[in-house]
Amino acid sequence: MESPNKIDRNTPASSLIKNFINKKSGKVTESRNEIYTRFDCLDWKHQKKILSAFLDSSKTDRRWAYSKLIWCWDKSFEARLKELWENDHEEKCSWIIIRKFPIKYIIQNLDKFTDKGDYYRICLRLAKRKGFSIDKNKLSPVEYLSVACHAGLTIPAEEAKDLLYKIVHNYCIERNLTARIVLDEYALRNHTIISPKQFKDVERAINYLDKLGHSNVIWKFLKWDKNVQTIISMSPEFKSEIRRITDGGMSSYSMLNIAYDYSYLALEDKYRLPTDPKVETMLEPQDFDWIHNEREIDIRAIKIDEASIAQSESFDDHCPF
């Protein structure tokens, strides 16, 4: 039996809006869902009324309206958004304020943009403005590279290198097992090794560095990454995971853990922090099926000498960029 509140697909947009606004209509939920479906195909007259209605509704409805306004902004919403933001400082509302409001208003309220990511978005908006100074400590390495790329800033090669390896360090220490990697299950089952170049933010950083003209930094990093892959392939943890394939038990989480461990151990000392785990404990048995005294790799030999990488091949002959 059909619900008595079911919305006819031919119901005029104006009726949907009225039913949504009238909380006693009994058709609020159905009208909202139909609006979601139709919104992008409606003319601006109806879209504008819908956005106004949603901005005057619940927090969930406002969040939906913000997600649309970021792409179909109209100055007529400025006063209402200013009121909402100054009262509640909702995150997605901040995004619109930073992106669409007059620069003067943003500068006057800089200390009020406190949500995660606000400062990064402010830098994207103001980096090219004379007199605006970027505080690198408020940006992650990949955010800073993004801003530099956007604003056409010049970054010295040594700093570019440091930023890239700091991203690797952060991945290894934070050990985010849900981190996006440029790899699929098919690749995993075909013995593909997860290495730093496949970490999402590393991939982004390489793209930014390429645009900033740091192909030499990238080339050296990829050589380092290749050596990390070799070390991983020799590790008892990796061999254990490969053996699990036969039993259908290989875990991409375990492969990520292996990548984090050996990538960290391959970093130069200057990229490690006093608060990091001790090197001796990085490879202590945790979730892996191996015996410590059977280790085939000398931990002291894991750190890769970048100088030897630079000498191994001619940059001019082998740079991929």
Over residues 192-226, the pLDDT tens digits come to 788 999 888 999 999 999 999 999 999 999 999 99
pLDDT at 77 over 70: yes
**In this structure, how many other beta carbons lie within 10 angstroms of the beta carbon of residue 194?**
24
Q: How far apart are CA 232 and CA 194, in angstroms?
A: 9
Digit-coded pLDDT (tens) for 173-193: 887 655 555 554 544 555 578
The larger pLDDT score, comparing residue 165 to residue 240, is at 165
Are 266 and 305 within one domain? yes
Mean pLDDT estimate for the chain: 82
The pLDDT assigned to 307 comes to 46
* Residues 153-157: contacts with CB under 8 Å, at least 24 apart: 153/127, 154/212, 155/212, 155/214, 157/214, 157/216, 157/217
The larger pLDDT score, comparing residue 181 to residue 90, is at 90
Digit-coded pLDDT (tens) for 244-301: 765 555 566 778 888 899 999 999 999 999 888 876 666 655 543 333 333 444 444 4
Are 130 and 166 within one domain? no
Digit-coded pLDDT (tens) for 140-152: 999 999 999 999 9
Does residue 146 lie in a domain region? Answer: no
- Contact between 189 and 127 (Cβ < 8 Å): no
Residue 164, φ and ψ in degrees, nearest 5: -65, -45
Which bin fits 273, alpha (ψ -120 to 50), beta or left (φ > 0)? beta
The larger pLDDT score, comparing residue 235 to residue 241, is at 235
Are 126 and 259 within one domain? no
Are 160 and 300 within one domain? yes
- Give the global pTM: 0.77
Q: How far apart are CA 125 and CA 113, in angstroms?
A: 13
Does residue 145 lie in a domain region? Answer: no
| Most confident region among 7-16, 160-169, 231-240, 297-306 by mean pLDDT | 160-169
Does residue 178 lie in a domain region? Answer: yes
Are 105 and 184 within one domain? no
The pLDDT assigned to 320 comes to 33
Task: Residue 54: give the domain boundaries.
Answer: 43-139
> Which residues neighbour 163 within 8 Å (Cβ) at sequence distance 6 or greater?
141, 142, 144, 145, 155, 205
pLDDT at 7 over 80: no
Are 160 and 265 within one domain? yes
Are 102 and 159 within one domain? no
* Domain total of the chain: 2
The pLDDT assigned to 174 comes to 85
Digit-coded pLDDT (tens) for 103-143: 999 999 999 998 888 999 999 999 988 888 899 999 999 99
Are 52 and 201 within one domain? no
**In this structure, how many other beta carbons lie within 10 angstroms of the beta carbon of residue 276?**
14
Does residue 312 lie in a domain region? Answer: yes
Are 208 and 125 within one domain? no
The larger pLDDT score, comparing residue 217 to residue 12, is at 217
Does residue 17 lie in a domain region? Answer: no
Are 134 and 283 within one domain? no
Are 134 and 159 within one domain? no
